[in-house]
Amino acid sequence: MIEVEGLTKTYGEKVAVQDLSFVARTGRVTGLLGPNGAGKSTTMRMILGLHRATSGSALVDGRAFVDSPAPMTAVGAMLDAHAVHPGRTARNYLDALAATHHLPARRVDEVLELTGMTEPSRRRVGTFSLGMVQRLGIAAALLGSPHTLVLDEPVNGLDPDGVHWVRELVRSLAAAGTTVLLSSHLMSEMAQTADDVVVLGRGRLVAAGAIADVVAAATASSVRVRLATESPAEPLTAAVTAAGGTTSATGDALVVTGLDSEQIGHLAARTGSVLAELTPQSASLEDAFFELTKDSIEYTTGGTTS
């Protein structure tokens, strides 16, 4: 279990993470979700003691990670898969990591096999493709058979097979009792992997909880209504408002939230409005994510917002 409590990190004037609290529970996959610059990596670095928190605490299984007598068995981490000297072979890299904790050489063989890296393990890391580097990073994270896994953007650079493999791997590890914390800026990826999500925006907690609840809360379902040209909008919008819904105009159509299409149909019949279109719209996960973080995107593209 990872318990983050009031975690704050400032770099000079810039606040990277502010008063962040969440729990990643044992046996579950917790997704740290947010746009670039939201503080996901900084949070992971503070959990691992690589960056000192300005204030607050992060505990792994009840104690600060840096106090663990065998850190590799407590937490396996992959922050930046490219953080390997390009002149080493994969085997040399893993052997050196295993030696720190007196892990047997056959454990290195196991993780190489598990990640499909046995064959290229004698090659230098500098010659690896992005996907191979990522697999090596995951192999290194698994080396100590850790109780907790912390993976920063683990599916970056992997092909669809690889993405599926990572997903199955973390699901099976969580099922076996591992605490898994992984980050992504893709809501759709999280939806297929994570049990719980912690949504960050500009270093602050935006939402947290079981993924279905967070998505449901962020996606008020809406209905698109277009009236025949001769039919005025006013009677229907008044009726919708009276019934507790809200309307907004988009082009020649209305978007109604708070009521379902059947209720709107009844209202239209009662007010004599002629419907040309009545379409229920289910918001996608990406919409939910955008909805949650729209006020906290650090770098927005210039011009019109979509």
Q: Are 49 and 120 in contact (CB under 8 A)?
A: no
Q: Is 129 in the site for another protein (CB under 8 A)?
A: no
Measured from the CB atom, the residue of 99 and 238 that comes closer to another protein is 99
Are 193 and 28 spatial neighbours (Cβ–Cβ below 8 Å)? no
Of residues 13, 14, 52, 303, which one binds another protein by CB under 8 A? 52
Residue 165 as a binder of another protein (CB under 8 A): the answer is: no
**Paired residues of 204 in beta bridges:** 201
- Cα separations (Å) of 202 from 206, 235, 293, 299? 9, 42, 9, 10
* Shortest CB 35 distance to another protein, Å: 22
Name the token pair of 264. Answer: 């709107």
- We find the least distance from the C-beta atom of residue 115 to another protein, in angstroms, to be 11
Q: Is residue 49 near another protein by the rule CB under 8 A?
A: yes
For tokens 């990572």, the residue is 166
Among 2, 29, 84, 187, binds another protein (CB under 8 A): 84
Quote the CA–CA distance of 127 and 243 in Å, as a whole number.
64
Note whether 86 binds another protein by CB under 8 A. Answer: yes
Q: Which two tokens stand for residue 296?
A: 């906290």
In the complex, the smallest distance separating the C-beta of residue 90 from another protein, rounded to whole angstroms, is: 10
Asked if residue 72 binds another protein (CB under 8 A), the reply is yes
By CB under 8 A, is residue 112 in contact with another protein? no
User: Which three-class secondary structure state does DSSP give residue 162?
Assistant: helix
Site map 132..161 versus another protein, x via CB under 8 A:
--------x---xx----------------
- Cα 225 off chain centre by: 33
- Site mask, another protein, residues 89-108, x = CB under 8 A? x--xx-xxx-xxxxxx-xx-
Does 59 contact another protein by CB under 8 A?
no
Backbone angles phi, psi at 243, to 5 degrees: -85, 0
d(CA 37, CA 296): 10
Q: Which region among 67-75, 206-214, 215-223, 225-233 touches another protein (by CB under 8 A)? A: 67-75
Rounded distance between C-alpha atoms, residue 152 and residue 15, angstroms: 20
Interaction site with another protein (CB under 8 A)? 45, 48-52, 65-66, 68-73, 75, 77, 79-80, 82-89, 92-93, 95-97, 99-104, 106-107, 110, 114, 140, 144-145
